[in-house]
């Protein structure tokens, strides 16, 4: 089910149809494009996607795919189904060429069947039949240029032979008559034969036209030249004309006979041409996928969205012409915890484009098209798609913009279920904000109860609060560069976004006193809420940059560790080689010593020495050997201890690289929570105390803030951690007290006149840093006029600070260009 009826038009899918038609080679394929339909059948969608992916591979890898003569001849074949009708000469020639293309397609896939390539496309060609008889019959009557052959029938051969003989006789006789006229001087020497109304004639001066007997068929525009068909040629030309009539009658008979012969095969031919149209259609989808970087995603039969680097295809094509790139979208929706995504953020920040991207890509996928996203993206199947975007007001139906939105909402609530995807832009807009916001909140709760999946954009703060506490709804924000006051067109899931209404109005140039008056009207509380959102986004951007720097540092550290491991392994190998070599040398040395001792003993015995002396010499030798072995073992142990120290140092470095987990946090468990327990909301660092337990709803106090949280989102922490937080809070209070003192003593004006350039810049730098700390948004720098060098240096410095929104000369009566007024974005 699709809602509303103009679903495709609102999403822009009609433009994709136009793109596909432009990529088709024939009307056969273009008619297939018109028949594209949204499907909920998993196997059918899987087959369509697979066919396009196979053809995308053909476009990338194959160079011999047949692409000529994709001609739609089906209207002619359907026309000659009744007996008595026949095909024309040029129609048969078109059939011959297009059948050659179909035969080439079948050969292409049959040749790759042994390689097990393109199985889905091969399956399409398995039911197509082409009969050689049709090719033979066409070749019997048509030549290579598509004309009827002389040999198409004996009668035609006889007629054309006679025509050639008569034409040859006419040519000879005309040349003779022309030659006689030239001799008589009736025509100029350079005159040649001419043709008028298909008949050969002699051009002659109008004054001499009576000199040649015949019929004047034509005259020149000036009337000076007459074109005469000689009388004796007239009868021959009439005979040729009669032969021409006979030729046409015979050709008609031949065409009718040919059509009768192939009429039994028309149904098979229509099937073959439907196959050619399908190939043309699939090729167009594959070529469109290549244009928009479409891929075959991971397939799921459940309603799920896990998308990475998803891109709006039409926006991609538009930006590509301008040399720009679309910021990719990352989207995750599955299960009870994250069914509905509530997107907020500034106007023109990309909320509507994000919503349209989700709707268009999901619709493309379920229509059998490849989608522009990363290959690891997972696409599921939805049974119903609902869309509320744009203005549907109607004079005929007496509907306002808000009434049309409410009508859409009524249909959503009536027909939506857990397998539906709901897309709503600017939820609740079009009426009084307070009432519209309340109705929108009630509808959002009902949609959440129905367990639908959806993407909803809004500016209403009450909806953001609901998404922050309701299970199944998640906040998301379109990021905004607070320094440059411009959107980043990047979606961030997890936190609500600020509308940045005052910042945008200030950038446009709305007077400051109007913005101040607007602040007073809307209330300081609302402004603080929006400012806090802005600070959260700015801090998030800062920490994302920090995380990227840490990631780069870790990557560098891993590289250093890898090099260290390599050097360690080489050192170990070198140590083993050194020890082996040392032992070999020691063995050789001991061998030499043994030989010497044995020689000594032998010498002693010869000299009849005392046996005690010999025994002592042997004992000394064994003692020496033991000392050498002990020395080797000690050296080995010493080196081993050094290696162990190196490994221990490496483990310490690796351990320091890993993030430290909080020792006080306990993994989320189904624990018994009671009043007085210390808990923390998952993903936050602030610790609170349980005040009241009502089933799964837990009332907790976090400082001066009281809030109700679902039991599943809490985790138990220790009393020590709670006490540590309180000590930290006391330190924060002391720091806050110091901060208030610094803010009171801070002066929003600095005088750098008479200082050297480097001293002045140092002083200005410290002055601006202090102003940012105490959140003083308006500053004055006295630098004097002079030659303007100091003024220029200071302003160049200010341009490089992100939080400096603007700077200007002071009013003329207060100092003019000798003073620079600085506005900070705080």
pLDDT, residue 236, reads 82
Q: What are phi and psi of 28, to 5 degrees?
A: -60, -50
Closest by alpha carbon to 421, among 358, 476, 493? Answer: 358
Q: Confidence class of residue 222 from pLDDT cuts 50, 70 and 90?
A: confident
Closest by alpha carbon to 231, among 212, 218, 217, 248? Answer: 212
Max avg pLDDT among 121-125, 343-347, 565-569: 121-125
Are the C-beta atoms of 492 and 342 separated by less than 8 Å?
A: no
Q: State whether the Cα torsion 289-294-299-301 is positive or negative.
A: negative
Are the C-beta atoms of 779 and 821 separated by less than 8 Å?
A: yes
Taking the C-alpha atoms of residue 151 and residue 160, their distance in angstroms, rounded to an integer, is: 10
| 711 three-state secondary structure | helix
Q: Confidence class of residue 732 from pLDDT cuts 50, 70 and 90?
A: very low
> Average pLDDT, whole number, for the chain?
81
pLDDT tens-digit readout, 277-314: 999 999 999 999 999 999 999 999 999 999 999 999 99
- Name 747's Cβ contacts closer than 8 Å, sequence gap at least 6: none
659 to 542, 649, 654: CA distances (angstroms):
19, 18, 10
Pairing of strands 329-333, 749-751: unpaired
- Pick the more confident residue, 621 or 229: 229
Q: Confidence class of residue 398 from pLDDT cuts 50, 70 and 90?
A: very low
Are the C-beta atoms of 526 and 532 separated by less than 8 Å?
A: no
pLDDT, residue 738, reads 59
| 457 three-state secondary structure | strand
Q: Give the HSE-up count for residue 34: Cα atoms under 13 Å, Cβ half-sphere.
A: 6
Show the tokens assigned to 373: 């996203």
Q: What is the mean pLDDT of residues 222-233?
A: 83
162 to 156, 173, 275, 380: CA distances (angstroms):
10, 17, 46, 74
pLDDT tens-digit readout, 133-156: 999 999 999 999 999 999 999 999
Taking the C-alpha atoms of residue 611 and residue 501, their distance in angstroms, rounded to an integer, is: 112
Query: Considering only 121-125, 452-456, 548-552, which range has the smallest mean pLDDT?
Result: 548-552
Are the C-beta atoms of 343 and 478 separated by less than 8 Å?
A: yes
Q: Confidence class of residue 396 from pLDDT cuts 50, 70 and 90?
A: very low
Show the tokens assigned to 194: 């001419």
Taking the C-alpha atoms of residue 399 and residue 513, their distance in angstroms, rounded to an integer, is: 39
pLDDT, residue 33, reads 96
Q: What is the mean pLDDT of residues 439-443?
A: 88
pLDDT, residue 657, reads 47
pLDDT tens-digit readout, 251-261: 999 999 999 99
Taking the C-alpha atoms of residue 713 and residue 235, their distance in angstroms, rounded to an integer, is: 108
Please tell us whether the domain made up of 305-493 is placed in CATH 3.40.50.2300: no
Query: Considering only 107-116, 169-178, 505-514, which range has the smallest mean pLDDT?
Result: 505-514
Taking the C-alpha atoms of residue 457 and residue 479, their distance in angstroms, rounded to an integer, is: 14
Show the tokens assigned to 792: 């220029």
* Fold annotation for 746-824: Ribosomal Protein S8; Chain: A, domain 1 (3.30.1370)
Q: What is the mean pLDDT of residues 266-279?
A: 95
Query: Considering only 103-112, 238-247, 734-743, which range has the smallest mean pLDDT?
Result: 734-743
Show the tokens assigned to 499: 């509308």
Q: Do domains 1-197+230-292 and 305-493 have the same CATH topology?
A: no
- Quick one: residue 695, left, alpha or beta (phi over 0 = left, psi -120 to 50 = alpha)? left
How many Å separate Cα 66 from the centre of its chain?
30
Closest by alpha carbon to 366, among 354, 380, 356, 386? Answer: 380
551 to 161, 355, 546, 657: CA distances (angstroms):
89, 31, 9, 10
Taking the C-alpha atoms of residue 232 and residue 213, their distance in angstroms, rounded to an integer, is: 8
Taking the C-alpha atoms of residue 93 and residue 146, their distance in angstroms, rounded to an integer, is: 5
62 to 55, 66, 118, 289: CA distances (angstroms):
10, 10, 12, 17
* CATH architecture type of domain 1-197+230-292: Orthogonal Bundle (1.10)
Q: What is the mean pLDDT of residues 536-540?
A: 56
pLDDT exceeds cutoff 80 at 12: yes
**Domain spans, the chain:** 1-197+230-292, 305-493, 543-652, 678-740, 746-824
Token match 């301008």: residue? 322
pLDDT tens-digit readout, 481-530: 655 656 677 788 877 766 666 566 666 667 777 767 766 665 555 555 55
Q: What is the mean pLDDT of residues 150-179?
A: 90
Based on its alpha-carbon atoms, the radius of gyration of the chain, rounded to whole angstroms, reads: 47
Show the tokens assigned to 38: 């949204």
Q: State whether the Cα torsion 788-789-791-796 is positive or negative.
A: positive
pLDDT, residue 51, reads 96
| E strand spans, 526-615 | none
Show the tokens assigned to 697: 């709803």
β-partners of residue 716 are 679
pLDDT tens-digit readout, 552-604: 777 777 777 777 777 777 777 777 777 777 777 766 766 666 665 566 656 55
pLDDT, residue 811, reads 82
pLDDT exceeds cutoff 50 at 469: yes
Taking the C-alpha atoms of residue 263 and residue 83, their distance in angstroms, rounded to an integer, is: 8
Q: Give the HSE-up count for residue 465: Cα atoms under 13 Å, Cβ half-sphere.
A: 13
pLDDT exceeds cutoff 90 at 625: no
Taking the C-alpha atoms of residue 592 and residue 744, their distance in angstroms, rounded to an integer, is: 92
Taking the C-alpha atoms of residue 637 and residue 627, their distance in angstroms, rounded to an integer, is: 15
pLDDT exceeds cutoff 70 at 435: yes
Token match 């030239």: residue? 182
pLDDT, residue 247, reads 94
How many Å separate Cα 274 from the centre of its chain?
32
pLDDT tens-digit readout, 649-690: 555 555 554 444 444 444 444 456 777 788 887 767 778 888
Q: Confidence class of residue 276 from pLDDT cuts 50, 70 and 90?
A: very high
Taking the C-alpha atoms of residue 387 and residue 391, their distance in angstroms, rounded to an integer, is: 12
pLDDT exceeds cutoff 60 at 82: yes
Q: What are phi and psi of 339, to 5 degrees?
A: -90, -40
Taking the C-alpha atoms of residue 266 and residue 263, their distance in angstroms, rounded to an integer, is: 5
Closest by alpha carbon to 805, among 589, 522, 485? Answer: 485
> What length does the chain have?
826
| Direct distance between the N- and C-terminal alpha carbons of the chain, in angstroms, rounded to an integer | 49
Pairing of strands 486-493, 678-681: unpaired
Taking the C-alpha atoms of residue 311 and residue 354, their distance in angstroms, rounded to an integer, is: 9
Taking the C-alpha atoms of residue 424 and residue 388, their distance in angstroms, rounded to an integer, is: 5
pLDDT, residue 11, reads 92
pLDDT tens-digit readout, 44-80: 999 999 999 999 999 999 888 999 999 999 999 999 9
pLDDT tens-digit readout, 324-343: 888 899 988 877 778 899 99
């Amino acid at each position: 089910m699709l809602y509303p009826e103009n679903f495709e038009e609102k999403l822009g899918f009609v433009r994709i149809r136009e793109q596909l038609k432009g990529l088709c080679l024939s009307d056969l394929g273009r008619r297939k494009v018109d028949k594209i339909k949204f499907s909920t059948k998993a196997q059918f969608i899987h087959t369509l996607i697979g066919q396009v992916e196979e053809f995308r591979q053909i476009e990338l890898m194959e160079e011999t795919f047949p692409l000529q003569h994709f001609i739609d001849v089906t209207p002619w074949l359907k026309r000659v189904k009744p007996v008595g009708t026949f095909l024309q000469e040029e129609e048969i020639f078109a059939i011959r060429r297009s059948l050659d293309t179909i035969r080439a397609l079948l050969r292409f896939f049959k040749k790759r069947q042994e390689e097990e390539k393109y199985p889905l496309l091969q399956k399409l060609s398995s039911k197509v039949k082409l009969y050689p008889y049709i090719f033979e019959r066409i070749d019997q009557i048509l030549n290579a240029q598509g004309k009827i052959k002389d040999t198409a029938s004996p009668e035609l051969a006889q007629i054309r032979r006679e025509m050639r003989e008569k034409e040859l006789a006419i040519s000879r006789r005309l040349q003779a008559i022309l030659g006689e006229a030239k001799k008589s001087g009736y025509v100029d020497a350079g005159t040649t034969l001419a043709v008028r109304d298909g008949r050969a004639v002699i051009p002659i001066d109008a004054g001499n036209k009576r000199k040649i007997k015949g019929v004047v068929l034509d005259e020149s525009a000036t009337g000076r030249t007459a074109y005469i068909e000689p009388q004796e040629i007239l009868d021959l030309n009439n005979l040729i004309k009669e032969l021409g009539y006979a030729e046409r009658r015979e050709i008609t008979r031949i065409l009718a006979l040919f059509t009768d012969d192939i009429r039994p095969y028309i149904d098979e031919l229509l099937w073959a041409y439907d196959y050619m149209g399908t190939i043309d259609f699939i090729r167009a989808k594959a070529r469109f996928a290549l244009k928009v970087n479409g891929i075959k995603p991971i397939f799921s039969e459940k309603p799920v969205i896990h998308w990475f680097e998803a891109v709006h295809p039409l926006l991609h094509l538009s930006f590509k012409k301008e040399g720009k790139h679309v910021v990719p979208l990352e989207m995750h929706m599955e299960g009870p915890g994250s069914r509905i995504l509530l997107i907020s953020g500034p106007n023109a920040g990309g909320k509507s484009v994000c919503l349209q991207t989700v709707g268009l890509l999901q619709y493309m996928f379920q229509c059998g098209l490849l989608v522009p996203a990363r290959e690891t993206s997972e696409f599921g199947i939805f049974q119903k798609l609902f869309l509320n975007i744009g203005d549907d007001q109607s004079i005929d139906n007496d509907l306002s913009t808000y009434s049309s939105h409410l009508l859409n909402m009524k249909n959503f609530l009536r027909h939506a279920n857990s397998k539906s995807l709901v897309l709503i832009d600017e939820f609740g807009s079009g009426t009084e904000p307070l009432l519209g916001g309340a109705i929108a909140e009630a509808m959002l709760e009902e949609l959440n109860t129905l367990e639908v999946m959806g993407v909803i954009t809004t500016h209403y703060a009450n909806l953001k609060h609901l998404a922050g506490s309701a299970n199944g709804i998640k906040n998301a924000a379109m990021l905004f560069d607070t320094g440059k006051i411009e959107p980043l067109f990047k979606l961030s899931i997890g936190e609500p976004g600020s509308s940045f209404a005052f910042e945008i109005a200030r950038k446009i140039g709305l007077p400051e006193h109007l913005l101040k008056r607007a602040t007073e009207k809307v209330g300081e509380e609302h402004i603080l809420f929006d400012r806090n959102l802005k600070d959260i986004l700015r801090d998030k951007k800062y920490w994302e940059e920090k995380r990227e720097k840490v990631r780069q540092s870790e990557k560098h550290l891993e590289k250093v560790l890898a090099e260290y491991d390599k050097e360690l392994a080489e050192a170990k190998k070198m140590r083993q080689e050194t020890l082996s070599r040392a032992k070999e040398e020691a063995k050789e040395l001991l061998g030499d010593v043994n030989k010497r001792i044995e020689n000594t003993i032998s010498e002693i015995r010869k000299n009849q020495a005392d046996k005690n002396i010999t025994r002592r010499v042997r004992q000394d030798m064994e003692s020496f050997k033991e000392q050498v072995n002990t020395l080797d073992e000690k050296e080995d142990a010493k080196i081993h201890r050094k290696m162990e120290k190196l490994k221990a140092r490496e483990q310490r470095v690796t351990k320091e690289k890993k993030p430290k987990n909080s020792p006080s946090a306990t993994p989320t468990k189904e624990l018994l929570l009671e009043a007085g327990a210390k808990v923390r909301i998952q993903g936050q660092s602030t610790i609170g105390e349980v005040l009241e337990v009502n089933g799964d709803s837990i009332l907790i106090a976090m400082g001066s803030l009281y809030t109700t949280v679902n039991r599943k989102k809490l985790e138990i922490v220790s009393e020590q951690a709670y006490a540590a937080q309180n000590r930290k809070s006391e330190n924060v209070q002391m720091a806050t007290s110091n901060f208030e003192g610094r803010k009171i003593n801070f002066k929003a004006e600095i005088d750098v006149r008479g200082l050297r350039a480097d001293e002045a810049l140092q002083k200005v730098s410290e002055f601006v840093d202090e102003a940012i700390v105490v959140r003083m948004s308006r500053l004055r720098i006295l630098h004097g006029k002079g030659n303007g060098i100091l003024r220029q240096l200071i302003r160049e410095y200010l341009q490089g600070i992100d939080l400096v929104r603007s700077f200007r000369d002071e009013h003329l009566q207060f100092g003019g260009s000798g003073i620079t007024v600085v506005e900070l974005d705080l």
